[in-house]
């Protein structure tokens, strides 16, 4: 990832309280990695009422286990209950919220006033954070929600940094803002394209990401319309009959043209940590409950380091190039600063084919390390073999590169490759490693 331009924040500087780092967790394993790699809190989804119905999501038993694990490290667990509910969705919500509270969940993230009111009435001990789905963009709206009893507002992604500072000037409330991850092309995620195209309700967790589909442009195929087109825009002979002149419509793109998408670039504010902190943002939110363990661990680890470095010595804080290099290893799309400094334009959207996959794979998880032999026990997560170049990294500063040497199974038998999912592999490593350190390989 190339270094981005450095806009200058011109708003009022606020207190320097250390912000919360809030990470996504699509399942229990991702929750544990997020906490291990530095998250102060994680947000998850239950089996109902969240906007990521295709994620693994959590049962109540898994929530309890996740809460117990997080508490050992001083972290909290929030649950997204941020659908816009239809009448049939409300049935059972009271019992659901009671179960969340009994599981030890610290807060729900909600958008629908009905769900907010029910939560405040039924489980007053459960905090309610206003979801970004409410598109809250100004201090008077934030003041309204404070008066409704909410301790925290997750601002709409369209809010600028100076607007955030103004909100903090007017309202004493916790402000949470997305600082990294995918952006929605619709207004704070409220979209009906998915409903129309696939009968999957975006606002009830079924978004099919239709803004990232590939689109063509068509013109009415009536004879008079077709005859006015340059010959170069005629459809190929292989085109379906419905797309041929005189019948229905014809494609205007050439065969060699790239298909069009409406997708935006991903948000990345790593280079602007001082501005975020000094503007008074209380919680830095990372998007990605559907993302991989490698993504969660890498991004959380980098932001943890940057936040801690700034808080330790604000006057001498320096952005480390290796942090940007690390983020690039987990990046899914090109990156920008969203709406924080200006309104995104055509350069902030993706119109042509992109490399969607991160350049590195999560290859193995360190389970144990023998200081006497220098041998590590690694749980296989993706195929790797002797001779491949790999990297180790971890939440306590582990980072080094090496080449895979001889591999053995747990019985000591030589292996030509680590082929089997979750197989425990023994191999020598060049430097000490610790449990929960990760091994990755370039794709």
Q: CA distances (Å), 28 to each of 64, 73, 158, 252, 259, in order?
A: 10, 15, 31, 48, 38
The answer to whether the Cα torsion of 136, 137, 139, 140 is positive or negative is: negative
Angle separating helix axes 293-312 and 321-328, nearest 10 degrees: 160
Q: Which two tokens stand for residue 233?
A: 């825009």
Q: Please report the pLDDT score of residue 252 as a whole number.
A: 59
Contacts of 121 (CB under 8 A, 6+ apart): none
Judged by DSSP in three states, 202 sits in helix
- Conformational region of residue 92, where left means phi above 0, alpha means psi within -120 to 50, and beta covers everything else: left
Q: Please report the pLDDT score of residue 347 as a whole number.
A: 77
pLDDT in tens, the chain (443 residues): 444 545 544 555 444 579 999 999 999 999 999 999 999 999 999 987 765 555 568 999 999 999 999 999 999 999 999 888 889 889 999 999 999 999 999 999 999 999 999 999 999 999 999 999 899 999 999 999 999 999 999 999 999 999 999 999 999 999 999 999 987 777 666 777 777 777 776 666 667 777 777 777 766 655 544 444 444 444 445 444 444 444 455 665 666 666 667 777 889 999 999 999 999 999 999 998 888 999 999 999 999 999 999 999 999 999 999 999 999 998 778 888 888 998 877 777 777 666 556 788 999 999 999 999 999 999 999 999 999 999 999 999 999 999 999 999 999 999 999 999 999 999 999 999 999 999 999 88
Cβ pair 212, 194 in contact under 8 A: no
Question: What's the rounded Cα separation, in Å, for the pair 225 and 243?
Answer: 13
Judged by DSSP in three states, 290 sits in coil
The three-point CA angle 9-11-15 to 5° equals: 100
Q: How many other CB atoms are found less than 10 A from the CB of residue 406? A: 10
DSSP class of residue 101? H
If one looks up domain 360-442 in CATH, what number appears?
2.40.30.10
Q: Please report the pLDDT score of residue 206 as a whole number.
A: 67
Strand segments, DSSP code E, in 273-359 are 283-286, 335-336
Strand segments, DSSP code E, in 264-359 are 266-268, 283-286, 335-336
Contacts of 256 (CB under 8 A, 6+ apart): none
Question: What's the rounded Cα separation, in Å, for the pair 76 and 67?
Answer: 7
Of the candidates 168, 99, 196, 208, the one whose C-alpha atom is nearest the C-alpha of residue 153 is: 168
Where are the CATH 3.20.20.380 domain residues in the chain? 20-189+263-348
Of the candidates 5, 15, 6, the one whose C-alpha atom is nearest the C-alpha of residue 279 is: 15
Q: Please report the pLDDT score of residue 201 as a whole number.
A: 66
Q: Please report the pLDDT score of residue 344 as a whole number.
A: 79
Contacts of 58 (CB under 8 A, 6+ apart): 27, 28, 44, 45, 46, 47, 66, 79
Cβ pair 393, 407 in contact under 8 A: no
pTM, entire model: 0.84
Q: How many other CB atoms are found less than 10 A from the CB of residue 387? A: 8
Cβ pair 361, 404 in contact under 8 A: no
Cβ pair 177, 160 in contact under 8 A: no
- Number of helices and strands in the chain (H, E): 12, 20
The β-bridge relationship of strands 389-393 and 375-380 is unpaired
Question: What's the rounded Cα separation, in Å, for the pair 278 and 161?
Answer: 10
Judged by DSSP in three states, 29 sits in helix
The domain 20-189+263-348 is classified under which CATH number: 2.102.10.10, 3.40.50.450, 3.20.20.70, 3.20.20.380?
Answer: 3.20.20.380
Q: Please report the pLDDT score of residue 266 as a whole number.
A: 87
Where are the CATH 2.40.30.10 domain residues in the chain? 360-442
Q: Which two tokens stand for residue 418?
A: 């680590």
């Amino acid at each position: 990832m190339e270094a981005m331009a450095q806009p200058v924040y011109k708003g009022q500087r606020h207190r320097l309280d250390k912000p919360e780092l809030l990470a996504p967790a699509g399942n229990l394993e991702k929750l544990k990695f997020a906490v291990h790699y530095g998250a102060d809190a994680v947000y998850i989804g239950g089996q109902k009422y969240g906007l990521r119905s295709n994620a693994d999501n959590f049962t109540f038993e898994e929530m309890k286990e996740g809460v117990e694990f997080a508490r050992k490290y001083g972290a909290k667990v929030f649950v997204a209950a941020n659908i816009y509910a239809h009448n049939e969705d409300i049935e059972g919500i009271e019992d659901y919220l009671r179960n969340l509270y009994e599981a030890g969940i610290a807060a729900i993230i909600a958008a629908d006033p009905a769900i907010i009111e029910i939560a405040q009435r039924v489980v007053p001990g459960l905090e309610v954070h206003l979801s970004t789905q409410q598109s809250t963009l100004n201090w008077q709206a934030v003041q309204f929600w404070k008066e409704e009893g909410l301790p925290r507002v997750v601002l709409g992604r369209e809010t600028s940094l100076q607007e955030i500072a103004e909100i903090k000037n007017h309202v004493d409330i916790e402000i949470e803002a997305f600082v990294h991850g995918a952006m929605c092309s619709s207004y704070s995620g409220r979209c009906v394209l998915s409903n129309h195209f696939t009968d999957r309700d975006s606002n009830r967790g079924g978004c099919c990401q239709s803004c990232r589909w590939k689109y063509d442009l068509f013109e009415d195929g009536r004879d008079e319309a077709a005859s006015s087109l340059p010959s170069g825009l005629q459809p190929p002979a292989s085109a379906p009959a419905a797309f041929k002149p005189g019948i229905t419509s014809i494609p205007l793109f050439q065969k060699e043209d790239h298909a069009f998408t409406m997708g935006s670039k991903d948000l990345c504010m790593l280079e602007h940590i001082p501005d975020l902190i000094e503007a008074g943002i209380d919680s830095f939110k990372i998007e990605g409950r559907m993302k991989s363990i490698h993504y969660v661990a890498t991004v959380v680890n980098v932001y943890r380091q940057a936040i801690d470095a700034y808080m330790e010595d604000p006057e001498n804080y320096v952005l480390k190039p290796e942090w940007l290099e690390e983020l690039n290893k987990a990046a899914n799309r090109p990156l920008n600063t969203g709406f924080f400094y200006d309104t995104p334009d055509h350069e902030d959207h993706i119109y042509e084919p992109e490399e969607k996959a991160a350049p590195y794979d999560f290859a193995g998880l360190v389970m144990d390390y023998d200081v006497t032999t220098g041998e590590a026990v690694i749980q296989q997560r993706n195929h790797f073999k002797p001779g491949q170049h790999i990297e180790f990294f971890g939440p306590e500063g582990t980072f080094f590169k090496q080449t895979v040497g001889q591999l053995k199974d747990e019985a000591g038998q030589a292996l030509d490759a680590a082929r089997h999912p979750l197989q425990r592999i023994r191999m020598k490593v060049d430097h000490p490693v610790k449990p929960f350190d990760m091994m990755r390989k370039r794709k």
